[in-house]
């Protein structure tokens, strides 16, 4: 039913020409569905059923606007689209409609420019200019001109009996939109410099986060070229649906280019003018150090640029006052991972994944023919890719620009290491060369140089592989989708919180925490690395790299020297250290064993592997010292080569386990596994009073796809699982999109933890994820079905319209995927159909991801160092009759190694087990990823029902 908001029933409009009158009749009949009621010589009446709304069209050339005047007025109003509320321009007619979403679709279908209030995700009102030059509005509420929280597109009929404790919430906001005190700004996003996988995910996050906060979002195409060129071809307002499907696409769909014009002041002046014309207040730049340098310079010059535009009459005083300040935020999109002050850049781990996968393939053919391969990877001024690939693939030698040596030294050193590896029985040789590799006198080292040395001095059959731009290609891995999404959301919040006096921030990540760093400082520090290398100050260049880079390099050198260098510790300090896998297999377990063993060998310790868990030890004495050649290549293998099971010490035989610990005189124990390993460590620590054999340092490296171990926000295997699940979801979503009108319910693992389901929703763009922590409430399910129906209606006929719903296995034992599919199908009214997909143990992954490989290496070496540091504390207590079990110095020698926010920490198992664990749920008490659930829901527009 249509009616006029102010209570009248008739709208009187004047047409100045017969052409404009004809256009007006078409507009009101096509858009509002009115019918011709009656007409006289100069008046045409249009009306709806029961004459609730009547439009009186008066033909009067003397009073009506000419067609030229209408075009001029319409253009003037359209030019103020992103700068001025159209309601303030003129007296506005507002009509109440039932379905404002359908009306908006109709207006856009007929190519009408519309202004939606407060935003397109939760529209209350929409305004357009009719063919006679009048601003006419449509609303779904009775009082559209008052400020109020926006309505959801669809609300279920809660009924009179709904408990008052229920409230509608969009990720924690009662109104369905974030209603904080932050200003509403028009936010532009651009990608600049070299493309990187994950840039599309960043664009999607910025656009949807801005819209969700009631702001307008714009894409600046082709990087800074888009600013210089301007216009609708380069600066485009982005709608919610414009970024559908971007998560699974590589590169950057809004384009990138290197723009020389922007380096000149006249180019930046044009950029300033075009931003103002588009009404953009804030700019988010995703690119490398050069792009971010340009962004900060642009902001610094903004006052003088906008002043010049005003003085030369290129902008109005009103535009000057509105856009006096520009707010800028940076995100780093670079496959080289070369930006200082952040652990990772968008695209870095995707590129590393391509490199490792290529080397994994090369590894097989190299071993078959006993060949050597020299692999060139990107990295002109930064060796991060070469270093991490070297660790992840157990390469024999790497060349990076930060640590060069003379021509004679590198040749001798490489030949010595490769020769020793070959002498120990290794059939293949992998050497990785960063494209910026140099000698200490700044002479480049090419792959051909390396090949010639391997051929001439060692007589190896050697091949060269240059990966080139393959490293940039393909879709982003799970980590980069997560990183880009969370950073994009944070970037929007940052530009809204900025004041004119606040320095421009860079969105960074420290360990597992998204944070803000000073943009200028990060760029300056990054450029200083290249400058130090060119000045041959390699020590300074290395000091400017973050501590994790230096740690990884030291780890690689230690592991790589395991079989040929003299141990670094004297004999009296060498220990006997055991490693055991407990629980379900997880990606990275073999990497942890490999790193632990090779690092122990380099230090002089004797590494032991306990095969098949505690039951294998108690029943079969399955203990074996580790030999270097036996574990060669384990970094590349999934599962657990030493075996694993879920039995804890108390479920097998604690006394027998202690007997074998005593027999082999273990000085330390490393456990790798999930919650069963956590419980096992607690049992061993508690048994110290009775069994002296357990009075040794013990440390747990969390490894489980569920990521439910207390004391850490990251467990080995979780990244491998997410990548496997991401690939699975992408394929299923593609199938759903191709079929049109189809949704899939995918059941994911994770036990009582919703971590995997939550992050899978974030990286796949799924509409819903049901997790054990929340369960599946029927009223929430009803709302999700309504939202699903609406989504299919809005996207009818569009590509990439497939929908996914994720359900953790333990979210509900009654509402299985099959039952959910039947319920949704019965409620869909035939508008779409729903199927199920169960990935099962595919989620445990095949080959471990580079992140799980490199983190496993890092954690294992940290664990060995922990044992070295704590052996002395236990030395005098090993066979003491009185064991001070409650002494905190002693309890800390049994610990969990984990990532907490921005720190890598050892936490006492006693503290975690007694105070931070829900034992019956096998979960930590504090859920660190709850805020990520809110973001995942925000970015798909899901409305939640929460209980007060």
Residue 379, marked binder: yes
The closest alpha carbon to 429, from 412, 446, 416, 439, belongs to 416
Residue 646, marked binder: yes
Residue 73, marked binder: no
Which tokens belong to 332?
A: 């780093």
Residue 843, marked binder: yes
Residue 469, marked binder: yes
For residues 725 and 313, give the distance between their C-alpha atoms in angstroms, rounded to a whole number.
56
Residue 471, marked binder: yes
Residue 6, marked binder: no
Which tokens belong to 296?
A: 């900060």
The helices-and-strands tally (H runs, E runs) of the chain is 28, 35
In sequence order, what DSSP letters do the residues of 374-434 get, joined into one string?
A: EEEE--SS--HHHHHHHHHHT-SEEE-TTS---HHHHHHHHHHHHHHHHHTT---EEEEEE
3-state helix, strand, coil in the chain (%, to 5): 45, 20, 35
Residue 293, marked binder: no
Residue 855, marked binder: no
Instruction: Tell me phi and psi for residue 461, to 5 degrees.
Output: -70, 110
For residues 66 and 131, give the distance between their C-alpha atoms in angstroms, rounded to a whole number.
11
Residue 504, marked binder: no
Residue 383, marked binder: no
For residues 542 and 817, give the distance between their C-alpha atoms in angstroms, rounded to a whole number.
53
Residue 470, marked binder: yes
Which tokens belong to 817?
A: 């995927």
Residue 749, marked binder: yes
**Active-site residue identified among 130, 336, 363, 727:** 336
Angle at 325 between CA 323 and CA 328, to 5 degrees: 115
Instruction: Tell me phi and psi for residue 770, to 5 degrees.
Output: -100, 130
The neighbouring-strand residues paired with 516 are: 507
For residues 255 and 257, give the distance between their C-alpha atoms in angstroms, rounded to a whole number.
7
Residue 844, marked binder: yes
SS (H, E, C) 226-238: HHHHCCCCCEEEE
Residue 436, marked binder: no
Q: What is the DSSP letter of 88?
A: G
Residue 688, marked binder: no
Q: Report the Cα 217 to chain-centroid distance in Å.
A: 20
From edge to edge, which strands make up the β-sheet containing 623-625? 623-625, 606-610, 576-582, 668-673, 698-702, 894-900, 903-908
The neighbouring-strand residues paired with 45 are: 38, 56
Residue 835, marked binder: yes
Residue 472, marked binder: yes
Residue 148, marked binder: no
In sequence order, what DSSP letters do the residues of 807-874 get, joined into one string?
A: EEGGG-SSS-HHHHHHHHHHHTTTS-EEEEE--GGGGG-SSPPHHHHHHHHHHHHHHHHHHHHHHHHH
Residue 415, marked binder: no
C-alpha to C-alpha distances, 708 to 694, 713, 764, 927, nearest whole angstrom: 25, 8, 22, 9
Residues 6 or more apart whose CB falls under 8 angstroms from that of 538 comprise: 402, 403, 404, 440, 532
Residues 6 or more apart whose CB falls under 8 angstroms from that of 537 comprise: none
Residue 289, marked binder: yes
For residues 617 and 639, give the distance between their C-alpha atoms in angstroms, rounded to a whole number.
19
Give the H or E element holding residue 723: helix 718-739
Residue 922, marked binder: yes
Which tokens belong to 501?
A: 């006096």
Residue 841, marked binder: yes
Report whether the peptide linkage leading into residue 118 is cis, meaning its omega lies within 30 degrees of zero: yes
Indicate the burial class of 597 (C-beta count within 10 angstroms; 0-12, 13-18, 19 or more).
Answer: buried
Residue 435, marked binder: yes
For residues 439 and 441, give the distance between their C-alpha atoms in angstroms, rounded to a whole number.
5
For residues 122 and 665, give the distance between their C-alpha atoms in angstroms, rounded to a whole number.
67
Residue 488, marked binder: no
C-alpha to C-alpha distances, 442 to 402, 435, 480, 525, 553, nearest whole angstrom: 11, 13, 33, 21, 20
Residue 704, marked binder: yes
Told to judge if 181 belongs to the known catalytic residues of this protein, a careful annotator would answer no
Residue 371, marked binder: yes
Q: With contact defined as beta carbons under 8 Å apart, do 945 and 783 qualify? A: yes
Q: With contact defined as beta carbons under 8 Å apart, do 274 and 232 qualify? A: no
Residue 742, marked binder: yes
β-pairing verdict for 282-287 and 187-191: parallel
Residue 463, marked binder: yes
C-alpha to C-alpha distances, 701 to 106, 585, 646, nearest whole angstrom: 57, 13, 15
Residue 892, marked binder: no
For residue 836, the number of C-alpha atoms closer than 13 Å in the C-beta half-sphere is 16
Dihedral (CA of 6, 12, 14, 20) sign: positive
Residue 4, marked binder: no
Residue 750, marked binder: yes
Active site (catalytic) residues: 336
Residues that constitute the known binding site for beta-D-fructose 2,6-bisphosphate: 646, 704-708, 742, 749-751, 835, 841-844, 922
Residues that constitute the known binding site for ATP: 194, 258-259, 288-291
Residues that constitute the known binding site: 194, 258-259, 288-291, 334-336, 371, 378-380, 435, 463, 469-472, 646, 704-708, 742, 749-751, 835, 841-844, 922
Residues that constitute the known binding site for substrate: 334-336, 371, 378-380, 435, 463, 469-472
Residues that constitute the known binding site for Mg(2+): 289
């Amino acid at each position: 039913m249509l009616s006029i908001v102010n209570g009248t029933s008739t709208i009187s409009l004047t047409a100045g020409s017969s052409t404009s009158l004809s256009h007006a009749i078409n507009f009101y009949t096509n858009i509002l569905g009115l019918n011709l009621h009656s007409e006289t010589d100069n008046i045409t009446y249009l009306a709806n059923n029961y004459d609730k709304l009547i439009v009186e069209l008066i033909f009067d050339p003397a009073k009506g606007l000419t067609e030229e005047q209408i075009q001029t007025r319409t253009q003037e109003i359209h030019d103020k689209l992103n700068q001025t509320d159209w309601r303030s321009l003129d007296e506005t007619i507002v009509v109440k409609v039932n379905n404002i979403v359908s009306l908006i679709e109709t207006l856009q279908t007929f190519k009408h420019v519309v202004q939606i209030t407060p935003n397109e995700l939760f529209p209350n009102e929409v305004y357009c200019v009719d063919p006679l030059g009048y601003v006419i509005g449509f609303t779904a509420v009775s009082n559209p001109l008052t400020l109020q929280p926006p309505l959801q597109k669809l609300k279920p009929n809660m009924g009179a009996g709904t408990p008052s404790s229920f409230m509608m919430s969009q990720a924690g906001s009662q109104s369905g939109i974030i209603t904080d005190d932050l200003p509403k700004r028009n936010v532009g996003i651009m990608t600049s410099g070299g493309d990187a996988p994950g840039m599309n995910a960043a664009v999607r996050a910025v656009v949807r986060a801005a819209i969700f906060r009631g702001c307008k979002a714009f894409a600046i195409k082709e990087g800074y070229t888009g600013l210089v060129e301007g216009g609708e071809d380069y600066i485009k307002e982005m709608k919610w649906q414009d970024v559908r499907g971007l998560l699974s696409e590589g590169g950057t769909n809004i384009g990138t280019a290197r723009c020389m014009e922007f380096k000149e002041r006249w180019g930046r002046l044009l950029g300033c003018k075009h931003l103002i014309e588009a009404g953009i207040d804030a700019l988010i730049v995703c690119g490398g150090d050069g792009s971010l340098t340009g962004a900060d310079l642009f902001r610094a010059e903004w006052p003088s640029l906008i002043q010049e535009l005003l003085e030369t009459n290129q902008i109005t005083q009103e535009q000057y006052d509105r856009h006096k300040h520009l707010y800028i935020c940076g995100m780093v999109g670079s496959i080289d991972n070369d930006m200082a002050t952040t652990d990772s850049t968008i695209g870095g781990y995707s590129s590393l994944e391509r490199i490792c996968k290529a080397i994994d393939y090369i590894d097989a053919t190299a071993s078959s023919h006993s060949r050597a391969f020299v692999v060139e990877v990107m990295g002109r001024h930064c060796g991060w890719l070469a270093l991490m690939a070297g660790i992840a693939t157990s390469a024999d030698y790497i060349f990076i620009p930060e640590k060069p040596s003379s021509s004679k030294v590198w040749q001798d050193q490489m030949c010595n290491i490769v020769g020793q590896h070959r002498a120990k029985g290794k059939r293949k040789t992998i050497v990785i060369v960063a494209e910026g590799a140099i000698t200490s006198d700044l002479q480049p080292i090419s792959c051909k140089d390396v090949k010639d040395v391997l051929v001439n001095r060692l007589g190896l059959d050697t091949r060269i592989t240059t990966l080139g731009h393959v490293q940039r290609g393909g879709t982003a891995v799970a980590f980069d989708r997560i990183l880009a999404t969370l950073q994009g959301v944070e970037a929007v919040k940052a530009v809204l919180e900025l004041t004119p006096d606040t320095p421009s921030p860079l969105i960074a990540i420290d360990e597992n925490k998204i944070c803000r760093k000073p943009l200028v400082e990060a760029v300056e520090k990054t450029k200083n690395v290249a400058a130090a290398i060119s000045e041959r100050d390699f020590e300074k260049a290395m000091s400017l790299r973050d501590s994790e880079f230096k740690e990884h390099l030291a780890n690689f050198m230690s592991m790589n020297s395991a079989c040929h260098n003299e141990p670094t510790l004297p004999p009296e300090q060498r220990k006997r250290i055991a490693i055991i896998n407990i629980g379900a297999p997880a990606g990275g377990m073999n990497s942890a064993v490999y790193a632990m063993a090779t690092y122990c060998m380099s230090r002089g310790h004797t590494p032991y592997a306990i095969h098949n868990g505690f039951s294998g030890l108690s029943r079969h004495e399955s203990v074996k010292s580790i030999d270097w050649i036996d574990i060669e290549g384990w970094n590349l293998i999934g599962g657990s080569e030493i075996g694993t099971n879920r039995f804890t010490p108390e479920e097998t035989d604690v006394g027998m386990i202690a007997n074998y610990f005593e027999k082999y005189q273990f000085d330390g124990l490393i456990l790798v596994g999930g919650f069963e390993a956590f419980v096992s460590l607690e049992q061993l620590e508690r048994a110290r009073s009775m069994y002296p054999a357990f009075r040794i340092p013990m440390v747990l490296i969390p490894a489980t796809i569920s990521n439910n171990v207390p004391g850490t926000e990251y467990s080995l295997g979780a990244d491998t699982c997410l990548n496997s699940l991401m690939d699975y979801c992408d394929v299923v979503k593609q199938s759903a999109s191709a079929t049109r009108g189809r949704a899939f319910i995918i059941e994911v693992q994770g036990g009582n933890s919703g971590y995997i389901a939550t992050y899978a929703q974030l990286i796949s763009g799924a509409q819903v994820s049901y997790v054990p922590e929340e369960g599946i409430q029927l009223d929430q399910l009803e709302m999700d079905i309504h939202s699903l129906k609406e989504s299919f209606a809005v996207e009818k006929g569009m590509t990439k319209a497939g929908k996914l719903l994720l359900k953790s296995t333990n979210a509900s034992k009654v509402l299985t995927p099959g039952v959910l599919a039947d319920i949704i199908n019965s409620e869909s009214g035939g508008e779409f159909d729903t199927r199920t997909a169960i990935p099962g143990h595919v989620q445990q992954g095949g080959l471990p991801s580079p992140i799980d490989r490199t983190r496993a290496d890092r954690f294992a070496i940290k664990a060995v160092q922990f044992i070295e540091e704590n052996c002395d504390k236990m030395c005098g207590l090993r066979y003491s009759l009185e064991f001070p079990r409650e002494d905190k110095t002693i309890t800390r020698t049994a610990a969990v190694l984990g990532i907490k926010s921005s720190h890598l920490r050892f936490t006492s198992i006693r503290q975690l087990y007694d105070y931070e664990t829900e034992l019956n749920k096998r979960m930590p008490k504090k859920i660190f990823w709850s805020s990520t659930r809110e973001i995942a829901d925000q970015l798909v527009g899901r409305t939640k029902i929460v209980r007060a």
